[in-house]
Structure 1
Amino acid sequence: MKVEMKRLSVDWLMEIIHLCIERIVIVDRDGMIVYIDEAYSEFIGVSFDEAVGRSVQDVIENTRMHIVAKTGRKEIEHLQPINESVMIANRYPIFIDGELVGAVGTVMFPDPDNVRHFQNKMNNLMEELNFYKKKAVNELTSKYSFDDLIGNSHSFQAAKTLGKKVAGSDSSVLLTGESGTGKELFAHAIHQSSVRSNYPFVAINCASIPEVLFESELFGYEDGAFTGAKKGGKEGLFKVANRGTVFLDEIGDMPLSMQSKLLRALQEKEVQPVGGPKTLPIDLRIIAATNRDLMKMVEEGTFRQDLFYRLNVINIEIPALRKRKEDIEAISNNLLQKLERKFYRKGTSFSPEVVEKLKEHQWPGNVRELENVLERAINVLDGTTIQLEHLPLYIRDQELKSNELKESPDNETPPKNLSQTPVQPLKETIAQAEKKAIAHALEVVGGDKLAAAKLLGIGKTSFYNKCKVYGLSGS
């Protein structure tokens, strides 16, 4: 049904024109002014009555309204000097029933103060835009090089040398090793030494993306693809990383349903946004990392064999910290320098006893655990030398526990007083041991529940439930 538009009165139209930020002038086919709004006429120093009926060239300096009224061609965003100000002018021809009858012109900034206000506003917007642009570029840039990978042990140097060799290749790399060994640092370093270093480095944690969002996050989606989709759609992370490197961390946690789609994207070198009618080409290098045994997962059917071989072209195994204890002192000194900058300290050092104690520890959380231990130490430090008392209790006590084990080997008779220890129900004993293990894991990883769950080899949901039962908190 056709709805007739209500005709607006002259009073309405005049008030609307008055409220507009743009100033308006209207000329007929011959360039004679038929209307000019009050603010515009005041700005150029003439009254409405003096302007109407006169040639626009005689009233407005540097005008081109008469030309547009003759040619019928619009002119957009022209700079027009008027009264020692520079205006932004737009000029449009007016056609009635297909006949050119005149032109309407609008100008912005009728006075220099408004020009300055607009310039200041634009400058602020440009500064804000540049800030976020720079931030976005930094976030998509590799932050570490091979010089940042500290360690002279044979096993670590072998991994580092292999990384340097394959950096110039486009082959997929699979980084394996325990949690906290520095797999992401290796990925950054490989990208920075590659021919793709001038293009984005996009890190994706496969364990942190909900399964239902995996495809849309990696491949993007079109406008209206699903309920809650961002208007205009969204570019996927694979497209953002085009010509660069994608780092798929915790690849072992990728849902099985998504693995086949990832495999296709890598094989065909194209992605199809969710709800999109066509595929988009991509040019990427893939670096994946995991602390899980992917071969075992393949055998169990929880990881696709064809994807495993696609990713495992070059395997670099990062050794655990306990297997390169000769590197602990150098790593600790490097981490200490970083923490000094964070906590505004200078001249901090380790006592010889602390260095030995750090070398004795087994470091189940690897370099990540070491960094957490040192951060705790520098937080409680009064002077400039980190002493044994500044270390967490579980590291200080390890020598005592070690001596107890030496004094009571498995083949010896237990101490006599052991028989006097009350016997608890097995269920309570197991619960106490479980609580202690969880508390220890949380301390090792600085309260990160997800990392602690992986360290203990149990599922996230199960771990969270146990923390709730035992009243343990974390981040």
Structure 2
Amino acid sequence: MINQRFPYAKEIIETVIENAYVWIVIVDADGNIIYMNDNYCRFCEVTKEEVIGKHVTEVIENTRMHIVVKNGEEEIADLQYIRGNYMIANRIPIIADGKVVGAFGTVMFRDTKEWSEMNSHVRHHLSSIQSFIEQQDDTGAKYTLNDIHSKSAIMSGLKEKVKSIAATDSSVLIRGESGTGKELFAHSIHLLSHRSDKPFVKVNCGAIPEHLLESELFGYEDGAFTGAKKGGKKGKFQQANGGTIFLDEIGDMSLQMQVKLLRVLQEKEVEPVGSTKTIPLDVRVITATNRPLEELMKANDFRSDLYYRISVIPLFIPSLRERKEDLEVLVRQFIKKVSIRTGKRISMIHEDVMDTFYHYHWQGNIRELENVIEAAIHLAKSDLITLDSIPDYIKQSTIYHSKSESALTLKEMLNDAEKEILLNMIQKYKGDKKGAAKALGISKSSMYEKIQKFGLQ
């Protein structure tokens, strides 16, 4: 048919094959090469004469052509590592008279120059995309109230309060234990406000070294200090101009930085490091902390004037212990989320596990629950999460808390209560025993005596 219509069929086919936007190789039923186009030969640094008749594994690195010939199964868009590069390979069995007589393989890109140009092009765009994602992570709000899963009355009331708060420009101080989801509420407030189309910039004040925090928040001029970026850099407040800045872990900020922050909030302007000019600001400020700021103020570790400036509207996020009605909703959500991420399908959770969860203290709150669910999904032997799948410390703690009070003497109960209070306070202050002692109203020496008594080192 082809020969009748096109007298130069052979030449047409050869031209198409040699200039196709792919490298081509054909093997026989034994995996020996019977054809390889010029571009593929050049890439592999061989000639057609050298490769014809050779087994494909002797010529092409990491090939699976001989496997396709054996099993008769095609492989489409497979990543193949050839001569230092990952490429996209297709391998298709050739079938005649009902049996596999060979295989046809292609690899994208016609020559090394083309591959190099495409690779450079892709890497450039990936770099641009990565920079955009990082910028969005810093200057974009991601969570709404719909991302805060709950059914308890206390959370419903809190969400309604958030809607009212969002309508104002007043500063908000979000309080709550670690892992309660304070950041989600900050995002939600911004996205419900009239500033929702403007930047949302988050800063973890406890994660940035003290000597870098000032330039990170307020920016700096060219040559402001050794190692400064040429041309200077905008600080987080400038990046947030017109929108919202979220200062997380505000309770970890030093007194020196508190003074500088207070000035920015009072004057509504920022002076970059190394500059004598001020930049006017229009920024809503949301802060968050898990630390007892009132106790820190008594200890002169947190400025009262800054406290009143940032806490015009206080928002308290309840611990998971105070909203255990939400456990079922949260567990279901985390199972779905982790199952999608890990590719492991979990459809059920045993009622004994839920009962254990209801009796557990959840010191790490929602963050701890999500981690426990992830561990349980990895350890589950079927699509059902059982007690065998959850961490031992959860089960042991539940057994401890479920002991009958009648089985303990008053002295034992008091010791247990004191030990738990000390442990919780040490965790709350991230191991800072001096801070924990101050919060408990006891001396540092008494604190260490109790730590030794209960073996809490």
Report deviation, 1:168: 2.0
How far apart, in 2, do the equivalents of 1:347 and 1:255 lie? 46
Report deviation, 1:411: 4.2
Amino acid across the alignment from 2:196:
S
Report deviation, 1:324: 0.9
How far apart, in 2, do the equivalents of 1:321 and 1:183 lie? 13
How far apart, in 2, do the equivalents of 1:454 and 1:217 lie? 28
Please state if 1:287 is matched with 2:286: yes
Amino acid across the alignment from 1:250:
E
Q: 1:403 to 1:241 in 2, by over 3 A?
A: closer
Report deviation, 1:136: 3.7
Tell whether the 8 Å contact from 1:183 to 1:289 is kept in structure 2 after alignment: yes
Match in the other structure for 1:131: 129
Q: Secondary structure at the match of 1:376?
A: helix
Amino acid across the alignment from 2:347:
T
Tell whether the 8 Å contact from 2:375 to 2:390 is kept in structure 1 after alignment: yes
Count, aligned residues = 322
Amino acid across the alignment from 1:241:
A
Q: Any idea what the Cα deviations from partners look like across 1:208-239, whole Å, max 9, x if unmatched? A: 11111111110011111112222222211111
Match in the other structure for 1:328: 327
Q: 1:58-97 counterparts in 2 under 5 A? A: none
Match in the other structure for 1:400: 399
Match in the other structure for 2:240: 241
Match in the other structure for 2:428: 455
Q: 1:453 to 1:239 in 2, by over 3 A?
A: farther
Amino acid across the alignment from 1:359:
Y
Please give the TM-score of this superposition, normalised by the length of structure 1.
0.61
Q: 1:399 to 1:237 in 2, by over 3 A?
A: closer
Amino acid across the alignment from 2:250:
I
Amino acid across the alignment from 1:410:
T
Match in the other structure for 1:358: 357
Tell whether the 8 Å contact from 1:177 to 1:291 is kept in structure 2 after alignment: yes
Match in the other structure for 1:112: none
Q: Any idea what the Cα deviations from partners look like across 1:359-382, whole Å, max 9, x if unmatched? A: 111111111111111111111112
Q: 1:461 to 1:217 in 2, by over 3 A?
A: farther
Tell whether the 8 Å contact from 2:346 to 2:385 is kept in structure 1 after alignment: no
Match in the other structure for 1:46: none
Segments of structure 1 that go 5 or more residues without pairing to the other structure are: 1-115, 415-432, 442-451, 467-475
Tell whether the 8 Å contact from 1:177 to 1:318 is kept in structure 2 after alignment: yes
Match in the other structure for 2:214: 215
Q: 1:410 to 1:169 in 2, by over 3 A?
A: same
How far apart, in 2, do the equivalents of 1:262 and 1:361 lie? 40
Match in the other structure for 1:269: 268
Match in the other structure for 1:349: 348
Q: 1:193-232 counterparts in 2 under 5 A? A: 193-232=192-231
Deviates more, 1:246-255 or 1:223-232: 223-232
How far apart, in 2, do the equivalents of 1:412 and 1:230 lie? 62
Please state if 1:189 is matched with 2:188: yes
Q: 1:421-436 counterparts in 2 under 5 A? A: none
Match in the other structure for 2:296: 297
Tell whether the 8 Å contact from 1:177 to 1:319 is kept in structure 2 after alignment: yes
Q: Any idea what the Cα deviations from partners look like across 1:289-348, whole Å, max 9, x if unmatched? A: 011111222222111111111111111100111111111111111111111111112343
Match in the other structure for 2:57: none
Q: Secondary structure at the match of 2:356?
A: helix
Report deviation, 1:150: 1.3
Amino acid across the alignment from 1:180:
G
Match in the other structure for 2:67: none
Amino acid across the alignment from 1:138:
Q
Tell whether the 8 Å contact from 1:340 to 1:348 is kept in structure 2 after alignment: no
Amino acid across the alignment from 1:183:
K
Match in the other structure for 1:142: 141
Q: 1:126 to 1:197 in 2, by over 3 A?
A: farther
Tell whether the 8 Å contact from 2:174 to 2:316 is kept in structure 1 after alignment: yes
Amino acid across the alignment from 1:127:
H
Q: 1:17-32 counterparts in 2 under 5 A? A: none
Q: Secondary structure at the match of 1:232?
A: coil
Q: 1:293 to 1:413 in 2, by over 3 A?
A: closer
Please state if 1:160 is matched with 2:159: yes
Tell whether the 8 Å contact from 2:171 to 2:285 is kept in structure 1 after alignment: yes
Report deviation, 1:455: 3.4
Compute the RMSD of aligned alpha carbons. Answer: 3.4
Tell whether the 8 Å contact from 1:365 to 1:455 is kept in structure 2 after alignment: no
Match in the other structure for 2:16: none
How far apart, in 2, do the equivalents of 1:119 and 1:218 lie? 40
How far apart, in 1, do the equivalents of 2:411 and 2:273 lie? 66
Segments of structure 2 that go 5 or more residues without pairing to the other structure are: 1-113, 414-418, 437-447, 449-457
Report deviation, 1:409: 2.6
Match in the other structure for 1:373: 372
Please give the TM-score of this superposition, normalised by the length of structure 2.
0.64
